[in-house]
Amino acid sequence: MSFKENETTLKTEIINQPYSGEFKERIYDIESPWNSQSWTWIKFTDEDLNETVGQFRGTPKEVKYSENRNEIIVLTSDYVFLLNASDLNIIESESQPEYQDVEVSPNGIFFFHNYYEIEKMNSSLSDLTEIQSPFKMDDIRFRKWNGKILEFECEEFTNWDRSEIMELDTNEWKIRIKTNTQHRI
């Protein structure tokens, strides 16, 4: 693979199980009695259009690439993997993650949600900061980017009649209620 030593421009995508020999393949498995029998396949395409497929334990949730950090997050039902984008080696991993989704901000910072809260990754998977919300959230669903602001939906914890569209400002790392939202009746 012709990944550069320092920084790489990379495309990442979740794919169906490829035919044997279709791509250069690499298995990312961590032995544990708690592993599921499911697998996720991620195709990595570098700037020279070289393709490698990684096979990761667990059902697929998401994959994100941060060009600024030169790192990749692969999120499955069994693990969250942090990879070096230059050589596709594991930097660190965590088993049985509670995370339901991962995003990367325009300035390259990874952040996760676990239905109830959003956490920003600082230097590693074990160094996370919870982003404070105006109320206790439930059923968080990331929707779309508006510049450096991520719009997402959620409900208020224990008050499921209250559904809000929220905004996460990734410059200030603040969550606010988006104005002009409609409430369920």
Overall domain count for the chain: 2
Of the residues 63, 82, 97, the one at which a domain ends: 97
**94-145 pLDDT, tens per residue?**
998 899 999 999 999 999 999 899 999 999 999 999 999 999 999 999 999 9
27 with 78, same domain: the answer is yes
Q: Which two tokens stand for residue 109?
A: 């910072």
Give, for 73, the enclosing helix (H) or strand (E).
strand 71-76
Range of the domain at 1: 1-97
Which residue carries 């969250």 as its tokens? 80
Which residues pair with residue 53 across a beta bridge?
Answer: 25, 43
Whether 78 and 115 map to the same domain: the answer is no
Instruction: Choose the weakest-confidence range: 8-12, 125-129, 168-172.
Output: 8-12
pLDDT confidence of residue 160: 81
**Per-residue pLDDT tens for 37-69?**
999 999 999 999 999 999 999 999 999 999 999
At 5 the pLDDT is 45
pTM (2 d.p.): 0.89
Mean local confidence (pLDDT), 140-151: 96
User: Do 117 and 133 meet the contact criterion of CB atoms below 8 Å apart?
Assistant: yes
pLDDT band at 4 (very low <50, low <70, confident <90, very high): very low
Q: Which pairs from 172-175 meet CB under 8 Å and 24+ separation?
A: 173/120, 173/129, 173/131, 174/131, 174/132, 175/118, 175/131, 175/132, 175/133, 175/134
How far is the C-alpha of 185 from the C-alpha of 181, rounded, in Å? 13
Same domain, 26 and 78: yes
Q: Which of 70, 97, 124 is the last residue in one of the domains?
A: 97
